[in-house]
Chains A and B, each alone.
Chain A
């Protein structure tokens, strides 16, 4: 049986339209590797938040800056590493959006959703690199 695993490394310009194209490519790879709808929804949501964060907050929408994207999709899991050219941040400084006093604030919800939906999330170095893993859910959890 031919391998369906995918390994991609690419440099993205800081253009939000690129996020749509990448999402489409990743969805194709996930489907080819047997990921279910719920896992794909979670990965799409985490990628949306992480890539928009990298371009908007990291690169400040500066089109002279780029985002480095590496991802692999295997029948077992999805791994991704996203690096922007910004100054980074300390994820511990982002307030918990689910405590009552923060519920009506707009910030921090994207990072929280990433943590909820991915199996593992790591911020590397000064915080301008995020590495995430999503293990494929067993069929009965889909």
Chain B
């Protein structure tokens, strides 16, 4: 990711065999921005071979339906390669989006990072 001449959108840390991803942006909006975030996430799976992704949303205050679509595709991609996606530290407001759209049934959402690390 660092080879790309563009600003950093994700902070990635490996804890054991789990890759923990924090978002830099408070608002995940704009198709181009979401596309770049998606590219970086898919690169973790397809090029760097990560199979256990824990997305930490503690910085995220707002996200649109386009971002949800990207998360669904990431979940599908990981499922194809026997990987797993877990989301954590989601604010009450954003959690309402997942609940209303019933994506909380499809995506595994846990309270915090420690719980996430123990949920793979």
Contacts and interface: CB of A to CB of B under 8 A. Distances in A.
Interface of A: 16, 20, 37-38, 41, 44-45, 48-49, 52, 56, 97-98, 103-104, 106, 109-110, 112-113, 116
Given A45-B62, A48-B29, A112 B101 contact: yes
Interface string B75-106: 01000000000000000010001001111011
Interface of B: 29-31, 62, 64-66, 68-69, 72-73, 76, 93, 97, 100-103, 105-106
Contact of A113 (B73, B101, B105): B101
B84 to A, nearest CB: 16
B2 to A, nearest CB: 27
B62 A41 contact: yes
A45 B94 CA distance: 10
Given A49-B65, A104-B106, A109-B65, A16 B101 contact: no
B73 A49 contact: no
B62 A97 contact: no
22 contacts: A16-B30, A16-B31, A20-B29, A37-B93, A45-B62, A45-B64, A48-B29, A48-B62, A49-B64, A49-B65, A52-B31, A52-B64, A56-B31, A98-B101, A98-B102, A103-B102, A103-B106, A106-B72, A106-B73, A110-B65, A113-B65, A113-B97
Nearest to B102: A98
Q: Chain A interface mostly helix, strand, loop or mixed?
A: helix
Nearest to B69: A106
A13 to B, nearest CB: 16
Contact of B100 (A38, A106, A113): A113
Given A109-B68, A110-B65, A116 B100 contact: yes
A48 B97 CA distance: 14
Given A41-B62, A116-B100, A103 B105 contact: yes
Contacts of A20: 29
Contacts of A113: 65, 97, 100-101
B103 A103 contact: yes
A116 B72 CA distance: 20
A104 B76 contact: yes
Contacts of B105: 103
